[in-house]
């Protein structure tokens, strides 16, 4: 296994040099090929996502496959303009020069993806890597084996391994890959493993893009439309059984509005995920593994032991690793459920007396991947954005900012480093190379010695600089 990985890496190192000279036409053709392969295998992809996460075909199409189609189409549409050298102005010290920024491929890239959106979170970064002209070695998650099996077939049967290769296996495969001096590493996963990736990258001075997670709050102001807030938060939280990196992790609401929100949220849970009081498993997924299932149950039970009340939910199914949507109130902020990312269908609701106190609490926590603000007041929204820090934000909605390829998607601090999607993904896999073209009027010669004869120039330069 190690030998195969090393051999393919060496092949890609050589081939990556050839890829530097490829233009938009060649890269667009590869992207079209990738899209065609996905289209031909949609059924296999949907079936695999059903096996791994019990995703319905509609949800799998919307959040995984069609999402990737949109990324491919956007890259094809814009790649020619992205590749054009960008003009920048000359400075006083280089007055007559022409200055450009060239986007060149970084070289051989490694993409490690998680299990929660196992198709999208491997292929979307690959789209960016191809657009930027890179070779890529891919490592999907071992926790979503059905989807990984399909990804191996799609990639390894359709692309030459000297350009794109996909590897199956557990931690030992990831460790073997991380021993290699990649030009760029793109990782999506937890902050804990993100630190491992960053340490491995540091050994080779590899650049990294880390798409991590964290506790993304939903802050509901007193003036918010509670009906709308409840519906959107419930949808965003319990989609994919809460196994979404930008799912609202907890709700912050004014104490006077708590009971009404809990009532509305309970109704929305029933409307969206139940049929005659029976959980609709055709629209609600399962927890990915026994280990994650047991962790979530323990997290919920510990919260109750610490004083939390279950307002809705609390029924589990060990047989198919299902935890029904759980709505919690009176949650202690010192409980484990408020100290670690939940990543499952448990929604704590905590109250505040003043929005400034809520903002203070958010600022005391590690910076989240997303912050959701519900308010009808522009002043409250602007003030909250100004006083907090987060990877991204939606106002009066959740999650959907990820769908706009014109926006950068990424975290800050504990929630990640760098950004992706659209041009921002292309840039993540590119080196921005500064190029200066000297003119016939060579202004730089004033910096040449001998210096004693040029002392008078200093007064003049001081005035104009």
The pLDDT value recorded for residue 368 is 97
Q: For residue range 9-59, what is the model confidence (pLDDT) as tens digits?
A: 999 999 999 999 999 999 999 999 999 999 999 999 999 999 999 999 999
The band of 393, judged by pLDDT with boundaries at 50, 70 and 90, is: very high
Other Cβ atoms within 10 Å of 411 Cβ, number = 28
Do 256 and 75 touch, CB atoms closer than 8 A? no
Q: In what order do the strands lie in the sheet with 392-395?
A: 309-312, 326-329, 346-352, 250-254, 217-220, 370-374, 392-395
For range 271-289, the mean pLDDT: 96
SS3 helix, strand, coil % of the chain, rounded to 5? 50, 20, 30
| CATH class, range 217-403 | alpha beta
What per-residue confidence (pLDDT) applies to 1? Answer: 45
CATH class of 2-212+413-433: alpha beta
User: Is the bond preceding residue 117 a cis peptide, omega within 30 degrees?
Assistant: no
Please state, for a pLDDT cut of 90, what percent of the chain lies above it: 92
Of 219 and 441, the structure prediction assigns the larger pLDDT to 219
DSSP assignment of 257-313, as one string? GHHHHHHHHHHHHHHHHEETTEE-TTSS---S-HHHHHHHHHHHHHHHHTT-EEEE-
pLDDT in tens, 151-178: 999 999 999 999 999 999 999 999 999 9
pTM reported for the whole predicted model: 0.95
Q: What are phi and psi of 98, to 5 degrees?
A: -100, 135
Q: How many Å apart are CA 108 and CA 106, to the nearest integer? A: 7
Reply yes or no on whether the pLDDT at 279 is more than 70.
yes
Please state, in angstroms and rounded to a whole number, the distance separating the CA atoms of residues 50 and 232. 24
211 is catalytic: yes
71, 163, 211, 324: which is the annotated catalytic residue? Answer: 211
Taking the domains of the chain in order of start, what are their residue ranges? 2-212+413-433, 217-403
449 pLDDT band, cuts 50/70/90, is confident
Straight-line distance from the first to the last Cα atom of the chain, in angstroms, rounded to the nearest whole number: 59
C-alpha span between 319 and 244 (Å, rounded): 23
* Rounded Cα distance, 254 and 287, in Å: 31
Predicted confidence band of residue 465 (pLDDT cuts 50, 70, 90): low
Asked if 231 is an active-site residue, the reply is no
Catalytic residue, chosen from 166, 245, 394, 420, is 245
């Amino acid at each position: 296994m190690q030998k195969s990985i090393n051999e393919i890496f060496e092949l890609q190192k050589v081939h990556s040099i050839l890829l530097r000279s490829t233009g938009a036409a060649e890269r667009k053709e590869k992207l079209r090929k990738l899209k065609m392969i996905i289209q031909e295998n949609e059924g296999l992809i949907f079936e695999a996502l059903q096996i791994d996460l019990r995703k319905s075909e509609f949800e799998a199409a919307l959040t995984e496959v069609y999402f990737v189609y949109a990324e491919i189409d956007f890259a094809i549409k814009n790649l020619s303009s992205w590749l054009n050298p960008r003009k920048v102005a000359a400075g006083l010290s280089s007055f007559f020069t022409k200055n450009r920024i060239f986007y060149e491929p970084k070289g051989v890239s490694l993409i490690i993806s998680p299990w929660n959106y196992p198709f999208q979170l491997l292929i979307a970064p690959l789209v960016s890597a191809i657009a930027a002209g890179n070779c890529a070695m891919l490592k999907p998650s071992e926790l979503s084996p059905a989807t990984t099996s399909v990804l191996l077939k799609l990639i390894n049967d359709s692309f030459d391994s000297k350009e794109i290769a996909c590897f199956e296996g557990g931690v030992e495969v990831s460790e073997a890959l991380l021993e290699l001096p990649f030009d760029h590493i793109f990782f999506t996963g937890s902050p804990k493993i993100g630190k491992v990736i960053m340490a491995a990258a540091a050994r080779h001075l590899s650049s990294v893009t880390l798409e991590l997670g964290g506790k993304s709050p939903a802050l509901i102001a007193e003036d918010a439309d509670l009906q709308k807030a409840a519906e959107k938060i419930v949808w965003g939280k319990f989609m994919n059984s809460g196994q979404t990196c930008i799912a609202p992790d907890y709700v912050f609401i004014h104490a006077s509005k708590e009971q009404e929100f809990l009532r509305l949220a309970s109704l929305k849970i029933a409307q969206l995920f139940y049929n005659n009081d029976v959980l609709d498993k055709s629209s609600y997924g399962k927890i990915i593994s026994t280990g994650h299932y047991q962790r979530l149950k323990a997290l919920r039970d510990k919260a109750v032991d610490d004083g939390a009340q279950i307002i809705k939910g609390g029924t589990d199914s060990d047989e198919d690793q299902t935890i029904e949507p759980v709505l919690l109130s009176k949650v202690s902020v010192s409980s484990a459920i408020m100290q670690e990312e939940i990543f499952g269908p448990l929604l704590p609701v905590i109250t505040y007396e003043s929005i400034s106190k809520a903002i203070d609490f958010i600022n005391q926590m590690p910076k989240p991947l997303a912050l959701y603000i519900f308010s009808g007041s522009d002043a409250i929204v602007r003030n909250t954005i100004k006083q907090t820090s987060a990877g991204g934000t939606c106002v009066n909605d959740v999650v959907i900012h990820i769908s706009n390829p014109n926006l950068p998607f990424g975290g800050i601090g504990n929630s990640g480093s760098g950004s992706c999607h659209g041009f921002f993904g292309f840039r993540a896999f590119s080196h921005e190379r500064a190029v200066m073209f000297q003119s016939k009027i060579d202004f730089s010669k004033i910096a040449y010695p001998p210096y004693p004869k040029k002392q008078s120039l200093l007064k003049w330069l001081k005035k104009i600089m």
